[in-house]
């Protein structure tokens, strides 16, 4: 269950960090569809900075090759999770969701902050049927986001986001993703 009050939404939308993230996201989304992202280093550097990609050149080559291959397709999260694993020998839940979420912005991103908001955790390495369990978490994010966006607080979030970012073509899911990402739990002293 997502717990975002109107006050938390307003506080998040006032953060310069969110405004800068929206700006970079829109640039990336625009560039994704006009560039060959498998070969464009400026795009890759911006993507890496935005999504905090800390992987080597060989991993990046495979990742951006998959992003280029699948843009404009109906690829799904589970397929990318398996395909990226086959290419890199790493089960990359977060990066798989970032790849698919870039192509289909109506899908949520698996991020530690977002998972924490929902009380979810990824299954650890070595877990039996790990890919299937990660896919279930992604499906849970999809349904939880959809349920929240139907609530009064969810409707308030999208209304206020659109007021603050009048010209930004951003999906409701991405709006919620942004607000969750910048809304951190206060540390207990």
| pLDDT tens track for 123-159 | 999 999 999 999 999 999 999 999 999 999 999 999 9
- DSSP string across 159-187: HHHHHHSTT----HHHHHHHHHHH-PPPP
Range of the domain at 175: 6-182
Residue 39 falls within a domain, yes or no? yes
Instruction: Report the alpha-carbon distance of residue 141 to residue 148 in Å, rounded.
Output: 10
- Two tokens, residue 12: 């998040």
Residue 120 falls within a domain, yes or no? yes
Average pLDDT in the chain: 94
3-state secondary structure of 37: coil
pLDDT score, position 187: 41
Could you tell me the end-to-end alpha-carbon distance of the chain, in angstroms, rounded to an integer? 25
Among 180, 176, 38, residue whose Cα is nearest residue 116: 180
Structural domains counted in the chain: 1
- What is the residue whose two structure tokens read 């404009």? 72
Among 182, 177, 170, 179, residue whose Cα is nearest residue 9: 179
Residue 99 falls within a domain, yes or no? yes
- Two tokens, residue 108: 């949520």
Residue 187 falls within a domain, yes or no? no
pLDDT score, position 185: 59
- What is the residue whose two structure tokens read 């970032």? 98
Residue 106 falls within a domain, yes or no? yes
Residue 189 falls within a domain, yes or no? no
- Give pTM, 2 decimals: 0.93
Tell me the per-residue pLDDT of 34-55, one tens digit each, with 9 for 90 and over: 999 999 999 999 999 999 999 9
């Amino acid at each position: 269950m997502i717990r975002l009050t109107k006050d938390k939404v307003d506080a998040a939308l006032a953060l310069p960090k969110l405004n800068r993230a929206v700006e970079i996201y829109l640039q990336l989304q625009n560039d994704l569809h006009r560039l060959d992202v498998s070969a464009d280093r400026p795009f890759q550097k911006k993507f890496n900075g935005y999504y905090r990609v800390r992987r080597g050149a060989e991993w990046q080559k495979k990742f951006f090759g998959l992003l280029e291959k699948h843009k404009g397709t109906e690829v799904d999260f589970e397929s990318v999770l398996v395909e990226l694993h086959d290419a890199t020998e790493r089960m990359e839940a977060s990066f798989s969701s970032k790849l698919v979420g870039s192509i289909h912005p109506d899908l949520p991103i698996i991020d530690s902050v977002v998972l924490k908001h929902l009380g979810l955790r990824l299954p650890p390495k070595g877990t039996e049927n790990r890919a299937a369990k990660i896919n279930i978490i992604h499906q849970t994010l999809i349904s939880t986001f959809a349920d929240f966006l139907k609530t009064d607080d969810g409707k308030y979030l999208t209304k206020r986001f659109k007021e603050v970012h009048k010209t930004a073509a951003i999906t409701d899911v991405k709006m919620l993703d942004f607000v969750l990402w910048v809304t951190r739990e206060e540390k207990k002293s």
